[in-house]
Structure 1
Amino acid sequence: MTRRRAAADDELYLTVGAYVVPQLLYAAARLGLADLLAAGPQGLEDMSRKTGSHAGTLARVLQALASVGVFARTRDGRWRLTRAAEPLLSDHPRSRRAAILFAGHEQHLAWGAVMHTVATGQPAFDHAFGHSLHQHLARDEAAMTAAEALRARRAGRRDPAVVDALDLGEARSIVDVGGGGGELLIAILSRRPGVCGVLVEAPHVAERTRARLQALGWGDRCEVVAADAREELPAGHDVYLLAEVVHCHEDVDASRILRNCRGPRVVVVERVLPAGGRASADRLADLHMLVMYGGRERTRREYAELFGAAGLRLRRVTPTTSWVSLLEAAPRVAR
């Protein structure tokens, strides 16, 4: 085999086998290797004993990760952290451990069943796990913890841009539909002392969020309601905010949620797909929502049609400095 042919084969393997590194990162995150090495270099046998892993296999995992810059071996044969390993730390400002844990298990298994989605148009997650992602999080404490950490990190990058772009006008009350841990609602209320908030979440999330808001001193201004937004939402408030909620649902359920927003203003915070068919992170995100939730990303026109089906009219779309835009709608007729 010529060197050129061998190099081409290596390049192809790196492309086809690109899933290996993420799964090795998942193994490292599950074992807590970075946290174990945070205090300093350690020997293989100690690491094996502390993590309950097979020493020979652990050595090969470390060597493979070292080949891409994650972890390194010291001159005396021990293993140490590298800068590239820092996102594996639980408490690092750039921590990606929660995302890696979720991607390495829930997302990995769901995408392994992608042909179910291709064949049926239904979420592969449900096929792989036997229930929906929302049901999975309600049942699996570890998955819920990882998902909450992942959501909080994502919110930390998204929410400042949303708050800067959001104009509440004369609103005195806001309903945050699917508001998670309340980060966005707190950020909004911090800038508007005269506004009160209602956060609506599924029961298994609402309980945690209620305790969290009480502990942070927001209990008097933030009511937490446990409800299924597809069935009912608190009525009569000034603004209904849905931050990356609608894209988790196909059109029928998304329309039901929007129709339950019974107030003068509805603000949907979502990624807006470009009208063209070019490949981009937006298009990949669209398929990811289908595989994981049965949902979808949408173009501006598709959002306008979705609002119309819910009795709403799209009034304006405001880009933000993050990946999302604010799509503001109002009832076609007074409710």
Structure 2
Amino acid sequence: MARRRGVDDELWLTVGAYVVPQLLYAAARLGLADLLVAGPLALEDMSEQTGAHPATLARVLRALASVGVFARARDGRWRLTRAAEPLLSDHPRSRRTAILFAGHEQHLAWGSVMHSVATGQPAFDHAFGRSLHQHLATDEAAMAVAEAQRARRAARRDPAVVAALDLGAARTVVDVGGGGGELLVALLSRRPGVRGIVVEAPHVAARTRARLQAQGWGQRCEVVVADAREQLPAGHDVYLLAEVVHCYDDDDASRILRNCRGRRVVVVERVLPAGGRASADRLADLHMLVMYGGRERTRREYAELFATAGLRLRRVAPTAAWVSILEGAPRVAR
């Protein structure tokens, strides 16, 4: 009589689940989906165009086909499936850049997870010998992948933030760690009289400045190079930090918030549920530790963080995305 598989068996099956993400990474690196978008191809043609070992490529394709990614036609040629579409570079559901980053940087960092468990410090730094920010500043290929991934994430997140955030009577907005400035531009598009400042690291600032100039936002958006832990432009109406605070531990996060010397501080972050139930939120919390040394926080933890920075958490509002808007103001006039 066959033994019925139980909950414990399902859990232990995840131990081998890392194989599929790494095979997806290989497919993304080789650009297999993009090769097949015009129609089915023979293995020999795919091997020639990617430089992959023919017999091994066949094994990779068969393994991915076993989980629904790619399929082999009766004539032996390989074709796309719906499950393979996120591997395409140019597709509304594309996850290719996320897979590329996960398959290399994240994979190696998580391989050193015990460093984080033992020390409370980022495993990425241990695995790569430098922080993720330093890595992206010196590795053009990794930076390009991270930029593309960030832009796709912003495209899903920013409309929800814009819909839920009221700038009120603000005349200036400082976007701390604003990346390419997409969220700031989306906010300013609805408020013609408001000016913006993007604060970024040197390796990001140059790209952002060029992008904003090319898009015609150079007159309304300034780009400033600064380390937010040390200093930020002072005296502005709104300080916006979208998925920035979770990259830092409490000490550095408090320093950044304390440097927001203005009338309003708006933090856009995932807010953890108060309970201890395992969920995607809790997994994201550990991911921030492994990659950055940061953390996700509950509403109470954000209130405490704001308080240490001399701020009062006034409002927490959910959005249609995975993030909430946490609004704070100085406890005393600055």
TM-score bucket of the superposed structures, by smaller chain:
over 0.9
Match of 2:32 in 1: 33
Distance 2:14 2:93 in 1: 27
Query: Residues 6 and 32 of structure 1: is their aligned pair in 2 closer, same or farther, counting only changes over 3 Å?
Result: same
Which residue number in structure 2 is paired with residue 298 of structure 1? 297
1:119 aligns with 2:118: yes
Task: Give the 3-state SS of the residue equivalent to 1:17 in structure 2.
Answer: helix
Q: What does residue 162 of structure 2 align with?
A: 163
1:57 maps to 56
* Counterpart amino acid of residue 268 in structure 2: V
Could you tell me how far apart the structure 1 residues matched to 2:60 and 2:219 are? 50
Number of the residue aligned with 1:323: 322
Distance 1:238 1:61, change over 3 A: same
Residue in 2 aligned with 1:333? 332
Judged with a 3 Å threshold, the aligned counterparts in structure 2 of structure 1 residues 253 and 56 are, in CA distance, closer, same or farther, namely same
Separation in structure 2 between the aligned mates of residue 9 and residue 276 of structure 1, nearest angstrom: 23
The number of equivalent residue pairs is 334
For 1:22 and 1:223, how far apart are their aligned partners in 2?
40
2:268 is matched with: 269
Q: 1:3 to 1:11 in 2, by over 3 A?
A: farther
Q: CA 1:10/1:137 → structure 2, altered by over 3 Å: closer, same or farther?
A: same
Question: The residue matched to 2:17 in structure 1 has which SS?
Answer: coil
What one-letter code is carried by the residue in structure 2 that aligns with 1:81?
L
Instruction: Report the equivalent of 2:22.
Output: 23
2:76 aligned partner: 77
Judged with a 3 Å threshold, the aligned counterparts in structure 2 of structure 1 residues 177 and 5 are, in CA distance, closer, same or farther, namely same
Amino acid at match of 2:137: A
CA–CA separation in structure 2 for the residues paired with 1:149 and 1:116: 29
Please state whether the residue corresponding to 1:18 is helix, strand or coil.
helix
Name the CA distance, whole Å, in 2 between partners of 1:272 and 1:224. Answer: 29
- Flag structure 2 segments of 5+ consecutive residues without an equivalent: none
SS in structure 1 at match of 2:198: strand
The percent of aligned pairs where both chains have the same amino acid is: 85
Deviation per CA, 1:92-145: give whole Å up to 9, x if none: 111100000000011111111111111111111111111111111111111111
State the distance in 1 between where 2:313 and 2:10 align.
Answer: 48
Tell me what 1:230 maps to.
229
SS state of the match for residue 240, structure 1? strand
Residue 240 of structure 1 is matched in structure 2 by 239
Displacement, 1:40? 1.4
C-alpha spacing 1:76/1:192, structure 2 compared with 1 (3 Å): same
Structure 1 SS opposite 2:130: coil
The answer for unaligned runs of 5 or more in structure 1 is none
Distance 1:248-1:60 versus aligned 2 partners, 3 A rule: same
Displacement of 1:267 in angstroms is: 0.6
Q: Which residue does 1:146 correspond to in 2?
A: 145
Q: Out of 96-105 and 224-233, give the one that drifted further.
A: 224-233
Q: Scaled by the length of structure 2, what TM-score is found?
A: 0.96
- 1:229 Cα shift? 0.8
Amino acid at match of 2:266: V
User: Which residue matches 1:288?
Assistant: 287
Deviation for aligned residue 1:4: 3.1
The offset of 1:9, in angstroms, is: 11
Structure 2 CA distance for partners of 1:62 and 1:330, relative to 1, 3 Å: same
DSSP-derived class of the 1:181 partner: coil
Greater Cα offset, 11-20 or 29-38: 11-20
Aligned counterparts, 1:67-216, within 5 A = 67-216=66-215
- Aligned partner letter, 1:153: R
